[in-house]
Amino acid sequence: MPTELPPFLPFLIGALLTAVTRGRLRSAVMLATPVVGGICLLGIDSGALHQVQLLGYTLTPVRVDELSMLFGYLFHLGAFIAILYAVHIKDTLQHVVAMIYAASALGAVFAGDLISFFLSWELLTVSSVFLVWARRTPQAIRAGFRYLILQIGSGVTLLAGILIHVHATGDISMGHIGLDTPGGWLIMLALGLKCGFPMLHMWLTDAYPESTPTGAVFLCMFTTKCAIYALTRSFAGADPLIYIGTAMTFFPIFFAVIENDLRRVLAYSMINQLGFMVCGIGLGTALALNGAVSHAFNDVLFKGLLFMAMGAVLTMTGRTRASDLGGLYKSMPQTATLCIIGAASISAIPLFCGFVSKSMIMQSALNEGHMVVWFFLLFASVGVLEHAGIKIPFFAFFAHDSGLRPPEPPTNMRLAMLIAAVLCVVIGTAPATTLYPLLPFAAEYHPYDATHVITQLQLLMFGGLAVFWMMRTGRYPTEERAINIDVDWLYRRILPSGISSAENVLEPAWSSLKRGAARPLNGLIALLFRYHGPQGTLARTWPIGSMVIWVTVLLAVFVVVYYL
């Protein structure tokens, strides 16, 4: 039956109930929340369902159309998988903020005006940082603060762009904005920071690997996908996004190859996949936009599956560095198998979901005559195979035997991974009946023709042979026990050094200033103490008679002045 219940409301109610319940009851509440929310979403009507008048503007907290519905289904599905994966932990903080985090993501994709979108955008920031801090290590605390600073920067930039846009146009609707509109560049910059644009991506590779095993799963599903939604809604067809997205697809490959922390490898891989989506949004055709949003849908599944697999490894071994792992398939064969399915999906192997959505974007680049862009996307696809398709499962489960023999993770974690893995295969084998009905434009794309399949298999085969050859000949970068940083080098190395140098330069001047100001300041303090100190003139108790005399004198002065 039709309903007008705001899609984010069940999660806010679920967060409240999660905070006051415990044990199996809390687990049932948490799992029921996305189910109830999904059922309500199925019966929701299209159009602007809720409107509020505020200061002469019409706010639309809930606006429903095909694009918002796709992300609504996606976030409910992702929330259910992530909650099922995390339901065994007893950390109330993580559970409550995860619910609020999902609610804020739904609020963002269903917001019909820029003010409602901004409020959800900020709640997204505040709630997500606690999933990093919840790990409660010094590294996580510091990474969380760096994450928060940059995310607040995104919010401030977004607010500035909105104010300029609304002042110039008087329009607060959440629709197509474009770069020609006043404030458009600022709004796109704010969205790009949350989406991991080049030089703005460092928060993602810094904070996600430091979050909790379960928190990373939530983080990979919501923040960046909200940015993809907003870019699709407001900047479809913006040419700069083609080249920004193309750069995003290939520059993380080089960092992922040398990275030792496998969750950090996945963070770089996420930027790579976001690049395909951003490029598709920039191309702006119906096929490209379908490819971008469907790749966002699939990325939640296969990237969530890979983060869950690495989270399971971290939970059972306490380690995620490739140099510390290997041989885990002997005691964790189920996790290894599910991880391989995620790796096959992100590598766009035929019959897996990544093949369908990535092919749309690359085909659209060819159709629009962007041959150079298509070539870089092709190169990036090979890189994905190397660092996510091969490196993640190989070094975690099949490389040198680390001697670790941990058991399989808890049942709920394996079940969550199984659901994501099954969906990767189902969508990959039957996209016309599972994925295409959700897309915002009519989808007539057929990925399983001879040209697409043969081209992709050739690409994967030669890419795999290249990786195998490099490993056999010792040319593949060794896994070193080190922390690699890229753009965050600016504020993790240069900024502290600059502050230290400035202190050394300014310290003599500050000391001279203090010495020069000390003598007159001490004299002033002594003068004040003389009159206001415990024995000072103004601190002594005066007799009542003296006070009467002074009152009489003042009264006489007042009378004389008045009559004169």
Whole-angstrom Cα distance, residue 155 to residue 166?
16
**In Å, how far are 340, 385, 434 from 257, measured between CA atoms?**
18, 11, 34
User: Under the phi-then-psi rule, with left for phi > 0, alpha for psi from -120 to 50, and beta for the rest, what region is 67?
Assistant: alpha
Examine residue 338 and state whether it is found in any structural domain, yes or no.
yes
Give the pLDDT score at 255.
87
Given a cut of 70, whether residue 410 has pLDDT beyond it is: yes
3 state DSSP class of 179:
coil
The pLDDT value given to residue 135: 92
- Residue 359: both structure tokens together: 């092919």
pLDDT per position as a tens digit, 204-261:
999 999 999 999 999 999 999 999 999 999 999 999 999 999 999 988 888 888 888 9
* 320/515 Cα distance (integer angstroms): 54
Instruction: Output the pTM of the full model.
Output: 0.87
What distance in Å separates the CA atoms of residue 456 and residue 25, rounded to the nearest whole number? 48
Indicate whether 273 belongs to any domain: yes
Of 196-210, 248-262, 471-485, the least confident? 471-485
Percent of the chain with pLDDT over 90: 60
Our count of domains for the chain comes to 1
Phi, psi of 3 (to 5 degrees): -140, 150
Domain that holds residue 439: 236-483
Residue 457 CA to its chain's centroid (Å):
32
pLDDT band at 463 (very low <50, low <70, confident <90, very high): confident
User: Mean per-residue pLDDT for 514-539?
Assistant: 71
Q: How far apart are CA 361 and CA 457, in angstroms?
A: 17
Give 449's contacts (C-beta < 8 A, 6+ positions apart). none
User: Can you tell me the distance from the alpha carbon of 446 to that of 104, in angstroms, rounded to the nearest whole number?
Assistant: 35
257 falls within a domain: yes
Packed helices 92-110 and 23-42: angle between N→C axes, nearest 10 degrees: 10
Please spell the DSSP secondary structure of 250-267, one letter per residue. HHHHHHHHH--BHHHHHH
Q: Beta partners for 62?
A: 50
Q: For helices 138-169 and 184-195, give the axis angle rounded to 10 degrees.
A: 160
Mean of pLDDT values over 447-471: 83
Judge contact between 70 and 434, C-beta under 8 A.
Answer: no
* Whether pLDDT at 534 is above 70: no
Distance of CA 514 to the CA centre of its chain: 46
Residue 122 lies in a domain: no
Q: Does residue 316 fall inside a structural domain? A: yes
500 is a domain residue: no
pLDDT of amino acid 535:
67
**Per-residue pLDDT tens for 172-189?**
999 999 999 899 999 999
Give domain status of residue 479, yes or no: yes
How far, in Å, CA of 128 to CA of 488, rounded?
Answer: 20
Strands (E) in 14-121, as ranges, are 47-54, 57-64
Indicate whether 318 pLDDT > 70. yes
Looking at the chain, the whole-number percentage of residues with pLDDT higher than 70 is 95
Residue 340 lies in a domain: yes
96 vs 348: CA distance, rounded Å: 35
pLDDT class of 472 with cuts at 50, 70, 90: confident
Question: φ, ψ for residue 435 (rounded to 5)?
Answer: -100, -45
Instruction: Judge whether residue 154 has pLDDT over 80.
Output: yes
Neighbours of 384 (CB within 10 A): 26
- Give the pair of three-digit tokens for residue 329: 């398939």
Q: What is the pLDDT of residues 348-374, one digit of tens each?
A: 899 999 999 999 999 999 999 999 999
Give residue 476's pLDDT.
73
pLDDT at 229: 96
d(CA 46, CA 69): 9
Query: Does residue 357 contact residue 297 with C-beta atoms inside 8 Å?
Result: yes
Q: Label residue 450 by pLDDT band (50, 70, 90).
A: confident
Assigned token pair, 299: 């990325």
Q: Would the CA dihedral through 266, 281, 369, 302 be positive or negative?
A: positive
Q: Which of 326-330, 485-489, 505-509 has the lowest mean pLDDT?
A: 485-489
- Give me the pLDDT at residue 48, please: 62
Position 411: which residue type?
A: T
- Grouping H, G, I as helix, E, B as strand and the rest as coil, residue 169 is helix
Tell me the pLDDT tens digit for each residue of 490-522: 777 777 777 777 777 877 877 777 777 777 877
Q: Tens of pLDDT along 44-88? A: 877 767 777 777 778 888 999 999 999 999 999 999 999 999 999
pLDDT per residue as tens digits for the range 329-344: 999 999 999 999 999 9
Q: State the average pLDDT over residues 104-127.
A: 94
| pLDDT for 242 | 96
Whether 2 has a pLDDT exceeding 60, the answer reads: no
